[in-house]
Structure 1
Amino acid sequence: MKKQIRKWLTILVPLLIGIAIIYYQFTTLTSDEIGKIKISFQKANYYYILLSLVIACFGYWSRAYRWKFALNHLGYETKFYNNFFTVCVSYLVNLTVPRSGEISRAALLKKYENVPFDKAFGTIVAERIVDLLIFLLFVFIGFISQFEKIYQFLLSKNIAIKTIITSGIVAVILFIIFILIWIYAEWNIILKLKKKLSGLIEGMTTVYKMKDKWMYIFHSFLIWFSYLCMFYVAIFALPETTDISFDIVVMGFIFGSLAVGFSNGGLGAYPFSIALIFSLYGISNNVGIAFGWLVWTSQTILAILLGLISYVLLPILNRNK
């Protein structure tokens, strides 16, 4: 019973957060602003939205291609189409329960390529760690270049920058302590955990040990470059966003990426965060909302279509196994 409740909560809570954000966003708009948003959708140049989706597909491909380096290191030669289709399905599943796609991806690879679940999942965790480090690089560059603008925004919201810095330092110290305990402690509970997670750890350490680590890292940057390009190309879809500078694009990209984890695939949170960050640079609220919904809707439709097609093709292409 408790498992069922927990399962439904993981689905409903992010969904309700997304719905609440949408409700808040649109109830605070005037009828004139809503009318302008509708006009933006009607006048948008969907050629650039389509181009953005093509670039996004390239990111899917690169993610699937990168995965083979980690799997090869563990001794598993998988078919590329299985890698690609399982990646596509994982994007679809993530729209229902945030981060559940990683589990489905490892489970599907076990089913169609007989790669042990814990090892496959370990390589996915390693991917997420690498992705996080690259994203933090984006955050660092973006926040350094836009420090004054962000600082003034935090002051306007009565948020002390000292509190944020202190919290960050404490978090880093606690993380270092945890790593040291994990590596050096001989406690029974730590030893038992290491034994149970041995397959997962083996998958996670593939990046450091693999022969093709530089190609893996290259594709890791390529994936994030494609994400950024996907976002950048979309700004040309609306006349009001065509001339925004690249530093604004980077900040929008950063906050949009952060918003994805707040609800199912960024439902409500993504357009809200884009409108918020664009407003700091003098872009009207209705334009920011329209742009955010254009990007989010198109990317969500792509994830649904590719995920469904992949889910259908996987058993068809693997039926002779």
Structure 2
Amino acid sequence: MRKKTTRILKIFIPLFLGIFLIWYSLGTATPQERAEIWSSIKQADKSWIIISFFLGALSHLSRAYRWKYLLEPMGYTSRLSNRFMAVMVAYLANFGIPRSGEVLRAVSLSSYEKVPFEKGFGTIISERVADLLILMLIVVLAISFKTETLLTYLQEQHINPLNTFLIFLMLLAIMVIALNFVRRSSWPPFQKLKKIAKGLLEGMRSILRMKHKWKFIFHTVFIWTMYVLMFFVISQSLPETANVGSGTLLAAFIVGSFAVSATNGGLGVYPLAVGGILIFFGIEEHAAEAFGWISWTTQTFVVLIFGGLSFILLPILNNRK
């Protein structure tokens, strides 16, 4: 009963948080502010939004193609169509249950391509590590553009970056100690956990045994280039954001990348987080919030359309399996 309650809370708390943030955002805005935001959204240049939509689709296709380079070292081959549909179904699942997509993606490949779940899930973790490295590079780039502004803000808020770094190191040390304890333990549940971890590690090590490392790196860079371009293209759809500097847009992109996992598909959080950063850097409030909503809606439509079709077609096209 307790586990069932926990699962329900994990689904509905992020959903309610997203709905609450939308209600709070609209409720605290004056009728004139709401009218200005809606007017900006309606007047946005749709051609740039369509371009952004296709850039998003290309990024997902590249992610599906890149996946094969992690599966090949373990001796598994799979069809691009199945990998793409598994990726899109995973993104769609995150709108229902946050962070469930990676599990469903590995399950899909296990069901239709006979790749063991643990190994498939391990390759997905490897992907996430590669993606995190690229995101960190983008963070460094954004900070280099806005170093003076960010340092001034941290000083005003009495935030010491060194303390944050020390806390991170402490948590890392605790994690290493805990993993070492599990590895040495003979307790049956830990033995089962070690068996699962062994499969995960084999999947993760596939990134070191790839024959086509440069192709993997190319697709990784391409995926994130499409993400950034998808975001930047949206800025051209509004007159107020068309000339915004690259540093400001990168800062908003980074905040959006972290905010999207806070609720179901970033519902409520993403538009407010992106809009808030743009406002911080001097963009008019109605335009900043309109930008956040247009960007989130475009990304969401990519997932809803391709994810919905994949959800229907994946079992149909693999009906013999």
- TM-score (ref. length: structure 2): 0.93
Amino acid in the other structure paired with 2:6 = R
Q: Name the structure 2 match of 1:90.
A: 90
Q: Name the structure 2 match of 1:171.
A: 168
Q: Using the alignment, how far apart are the partners of 1:296 and 1:185 within structure 2? A: 41
Q: Name the structure 2 match of 1:241.
A: 241
> Which deviates the most, 299-308 or 178-187?
178-187
Matches within 5 A, 1:109-188: 109-156=109-156, 158=157, 160-162=158-160, 164-175=161-172, 178-179=175-176, 182=179, 187-188=184-185
| Aligned-residue CA RMSD (Å) | 1.9
- How much does 1:167 deviate? 2.1
Q: Is the 8 A contact 2:118 2:196 kept in 1?
A: no
Amino acid in the other structure paired with 2:62 = S
Q: Name the structure 2 match of 1:222.
A: 222
Q: Using the alignment, how far apart are the partners of 1:181 and 1:216 within structure 2? A: 32
Matches within 5 A, 1:192-271: 192=191, 193-271=193-271
Amino acid in the other structure paired with 1:50 = I
Q: Using the alignment, how far apart are the partners of 1:186 and 1:281 within structure 2? A: 48
Give the aligned length.
318
Q: Which runs of 5+ in 2 are unaligned?
A: none
* Cα gap change, 1:68 to 1:183, in 2 (>3 Å): farther
Please give the per-residue CA displacement for 1:161-188, whole angstroms capped at 9, x wherever unaligned: 31x3212233135425644774799622
Please give the per-residue CA displacement for 1:196-216, whole angstroms capped at 9, x wherever unaligned: 321111011111222222221
Amino acid in the other structure paired with 1:151 = L
Q: Which runs of 5+ in 1 are unaligned?
A: none
Q: Is the 8 A contact 2:70 2:210 kept in 1?
A: yes
Amino acid in the other structure paired with 2:83 = N
Q: Name the structure 2 match of 1:3.
A: 3
Q: Using the alignment, how far apart are the partners of 1:183 and 1:317 within structure 2? A: 44
Q: Using the alignment, how far apart are the partners of 1:68 and 1:176 within structure 2? A: 34
Q: Is the 8 A contact 1:151 1:161 kept in 2?
A: no
Question: What percent identity do the matched residue pairs reach?
Answer: 39
* Cα gap change, 1:186 to 1:314, in 2 (>3 Å): closer
Please give the per-residue CA displacement for 1:50-99, whole angstroms capped at 9, x wherever unaligned: 10010001100110011001111111110110000100111100111221
Q: Name the structure 1 match of 2:67.
A: 67
> Which deviates the most, 57-66 or 310-319?
310-319
SS of residue in 2 equivalent to 1:208: coil
Matches within 5 A, 1:276-287: 276-287=276-287
- How much does 1:307 deviate? 0.7
* Cα gap change, 1:196 to 1:317, in 2 (>3 Å): closer
SS of residue in 1 equivalent to 2:6: helix
> Which deviates the most, 181-190 or 88-97?
181-190
- TM-score (ref. length: structure 1): 0.93
Q: Using the alignment, how far apart are the partners of 2:209 and 2:179 within structure 1? A: 19
